Structure 1
C-alpha cells in the first residue's frame, strides 16, 4: 500500500509544465489559514488574514512581517501570494511538493529554504512535515501543510517582546524559526534514545518478546527517516554562514553558526543511535541463539539420561530364552533399582557440573 501511494505521488508530476503547482501531501482535510505578525521594536500587530490579497500590504512597510500560511492544498491561494511577492514559479512548485529534499535557493531579492519539521503523534509515530521559508528584506513567509507547529515560543517572544527578536531584522526572524525547528530535533533524538535504551535493557536481561524484532526494525526505519530529513540541513546552514547574500547581516551569522553546531550534535547522536540499533539486532539474535542453546541443552541432558536406561531395557527386552537374570526372583526390582540409581546419579553429576 505504501509503495503504491509513493508511486501515485510521483506520477502527479509526470508530464507537468515546470512551475505547475501540484500538491503532493496527504493532509488535505485542513482549512486554509494565514496568520500575520507585523512588528517593530515598540509595536506589534497580530492578525489573521481573511483575504490573501491583504498580504501584499505588508511587503513595503518599514516593520518586519512574518506571514505564516497553513494549508498547502490550496494551490491557487499560494500562487496568489507568489505573484504578490514576485516568487519564482519553481519556488511555488517546491512549496507544495511535500517530498522536496531540504535545500536553499538564493535569488536577488529573497532566499528560499525548505526544512523538515519532525514530531511524534499520539501513537508515538514520527511525523515529518515540510516547512518552506521565504526570506525577504523585511518579511519572512512560512508555508506549512496544516496548523500546529513548533513556533509557539517564537510567537510568544514576539507578543511579549522577550529577547532581542523585535529589535532585529527579518534575517534574525528566519534564524529564530529555523532554530525552533532544530531545537525540536533534540526532543526527537531524546525519544529515540529512550526507546533504544529500553530495548537494550530488555535484551541485556535476556528478555526477547515476540515482537521485539519488529520494534527494532521500526526504530531503525525511524532513525533513517530522521537522518534523511536532518542531514541536508547542514549544507543549508553552511551556505548561509559562508555566503554573502545581502539579506543575511554579519551580526546574525554567529547565530546561524550556533544552529550549525546544534545540528552537528544531533547528527552525531543519530550516528551513535544507528550503531546502537545494529548492536540491538545482534543482541536480539544472540538472545534467541542462547534460548535455543538452553532448549537444546535440556533436550540433550534428557536424551543422555535415557541412553543407559534404554540400553538396559533393550538388553533385557530381547526375546532370547537363555538370559539367566530373567529367572531370578528379584530381577525386576533389581533392574528398577539400577535404573533409578543411574538416573539419580546422572542428575547429581550434571548438577555438580552446573549443566542443570
Structure 2
C-alpha cells in the first residue's frame, strides 16, 4: 500500500471526504474543547488538518498527502493537529513528512523537557503547557497546577502539532491566526511563534492565580491563631510551584536560540517576535523565583510563630507549677506525721499555715502576671 493509503488508513482521511469533512466539522464546532476524556472529536488522534496558501485556508485540498503535494507545488503549508497519537497512528505521518525517529519517539511517548532540536530541515520543539486547577479552599493535598505538553514539528511547508494532556487546546489559536491572513502567510514559523506565545501567556495567567493562593496563605499565617495554620498548605504550594518551575525554566534556552540563532525554518523577521516571547518568559521566571523566596519566608515565619506559641505555653505551665509548688511543699512537710513539729498542737496553727500558703501563692501569681508569664 502507498504512503497516502497508509495515512488514510491511520488517520481516517480518504480522498473523497478529506479536508472537506474536517473543515465541515470545524465549522460546526469552531472552538473544540478537549478537556474531556475523549481524545478527539474526530474519533482518532487527528484534531484538525488544514492547508493554507497565502494565509488562507485551501477549501478543497484532498487528503493529507495530496494537500502536501499541492502546497509544495503552488506554495503554502499544511497544519496537522494531533492529540496523544499512538505509534501506529503516527507512523504514516512520520513516513509522509520524513520525520526523524528520535523526534517521533519523543512526540509519542511525551514526558519530555522543553527543548528545541534541529533535524536537517525539520525543527522539533517541545513546550510544557500549564493550567491552574480551581479549588474552593487550598488544602495540603490540593492540586494547583496541571501540566501537559505540545510538540511541534516545523518544516518549510508543514506544521505538525502533537498535544498531550487535557488542556491547552489550539483551536482558538488557530482561529486567531486565520483571522490575520497577512501574518499567517509568512509561513509555518508564525504558527510556532503563536504556540510559544500562547504557552508563555498561560504561564503568566497561572502565576497570577498562584500569587492569589500565596497571598491567602500569607494572610492566614500572620492572622490570629496563626500557629494553627496547617503547614502542609505551604509545602503543597511549594510542590506545585516546583512543577511550574520545571515547565518554565528549561524553556529559556530554547526560546533564546529561536530568537538569536538563524535557521532555515524560522525567518529573521519572525525571530524578532521570539525575542518578545523570551522577555515574557523571563518575567515569569522572575515571578517564580520571588514566589519561592516568599514561600520560604512564610514557612520560616510560621515555624517561628509556632515556636513562640510553644514558649508561651511553657511559660504558663512553669508559672502555674511554681504557684502549685508552694502548697505542695508545705502540705508535704506537715504530712510527715512527726510528733514534735512546730505549731502542730496550736489552735491557730492550721489557719496560720493556710494564710501563709495563700499569701505566697498570691505573691507568686502577681509576680508572674507582672512579667507576662500569666
Q: 1:150 to 1:28 in 2, by over 3 A?
A: closer
Q: What residue in structure 2 maps to residue 232 of structure 1?
A: 250
Contact 2:144 2:237 in 1 (8 A): no
CA deviations 1:251-273 (Å, max 9, x no partner) are: 11111001111111111111122
CA deviations 1:318-354 (Å, max 9, x no partner) are: 3221224222223223322322222223222222222
Q: 1:69 & 1:246 partners in 2: Cα distance?
A: 24
Q: 2:59 & 2:322 partners in 1: Cα distance?
A: 83
Deviation at 1:59, TM superposition (A): 5.1
CA deviations 1:194-232 (Å, max 9, x no partner) are: 22222222222252346x222222222222222222212
Q: 1:345 & 1:92 partners in 2: Cα distance?
A: 83
Structure 1 stretch displaced more, 53-62 or 247-256: 53-62
TM-score, with length taken from structure 2: 0.78
| 1:1-356 superposed matches below 5 A | 30=39, 31-40=44-53, 43-44=56-57, 56=68, 60=72, 62-72=75-85, 74-121=86-133, 124-146=143-165, 148-159=167-178, 161-162=179-180, 165-205=183-223, 206-209=225-228, 212-356=230-374
Q: 2:370 & 2:70 partners in 1: Cα distance?
A: 87
Unaligned runs of 5+ in 1: 1-26
Q: 1:29 to 1:43 in 2, by over 3 A?
A: closer
Q: 2:67 & 2:93 partners in 1: Cα distance?
A: 7
Q: 2:90 & 2:251 partners in 1: Cα distance?
A: 24
Q: 1:42 to 1:80 in 2, by over 3 A?
A: closer
Contact 1:39 1:65 in 2 (8 A): yes
Deviation at 1:64, TM superposition (A): 4.0
Q: 1:55 to 1:39 in 2, by over 3 A?
A: closer
Q: What residue in structure 2 maps to residue 17 of structure 1?
A: none
Deviation at 1:122, TM superposition (A): 5.2
Unaligned runs of 5+ in 2: 1-35, 136-142
Q: 1:218 to 1:92 in 2, by over 3 A?
A: same
SS where residue 343 of structure 2 aligns? helix
CA deviations 1:178-197 (Å, max 9, x no partner) are: 10001101122222222222
**Count of residues paired in the alignment:** 325
Contact 1:157 1:165 in 2 (8 A): no
Q: 1:92 & 1:42 partners in 2: Cα distance?
A: 27
Structure 1 stretch displaced more, 239-248 or 213-222: 213-222
Q: 1:41 & 1:88 partners in 2: Cα distance?
A: 28
Structure 1 stretch displaced more, 183-192 or 197-206: 197-206
Please, what is the CA RMSD of the aligned residues?
A: 2.8
Runs of 4+ in 1 over 6 A off after TM superposition: none
Q: 1:204 to 1:257 in 2, by over 3 A?
A: same
